[in-house]
Amino acid sequence: MAIQMETHAMSSGTLVGYARTSTTDQKAGLEAQLRDLSAAGCTKVFREELSSVADTRPQLEAALDWMREGDTLLVTKLDRLARSVADLVAITEALRAKGVGLRILAMNLDTTTPTGKLMLNLLGSIAEFERELMLERQRDGIAKAKAEGKYVGRQPTARRQAGGVLRLKAEGKSAGDIVAALGISRASVFRILAESSGEQ
Specify whether 51 is catalytic.
no
- Residue closest to 63 by CA, chosen among 43, 87, 89, 40: 43
Query: Of 11, 12, 22, 197, which one is the catalytic site residue?
Result: 22
Amino acid type, 44:
K
C-beta separation of 14 from 71 below 8 A: yes
Helix residue ranges, H only, the chain? 27-39, 58-66, 85-98, 114-147, 157-160, 162-170, 175-182, 186-199
Taking the CA atoms of residue 10, residue 15, residue 16 and residue 20 in that order, the dihedral angle to the nearest 10 degrees is 170
| Strand 109-110 relative to strand 101-104, pairing | antiparallel
- Residue closest to 161 by CA, chosen among 137, 118, 140, 191: 191
- Residue closest to 86 by CA, chosen among 119, 130, 127: 127
C-beta separation of 161 from 185 below 8 A: no
Please state, in angstroms and rounded to a whole number, the distance separating the CA atoms of residues 180 and 6. 54
Which residues participate in catalysis according to the annotation? 22
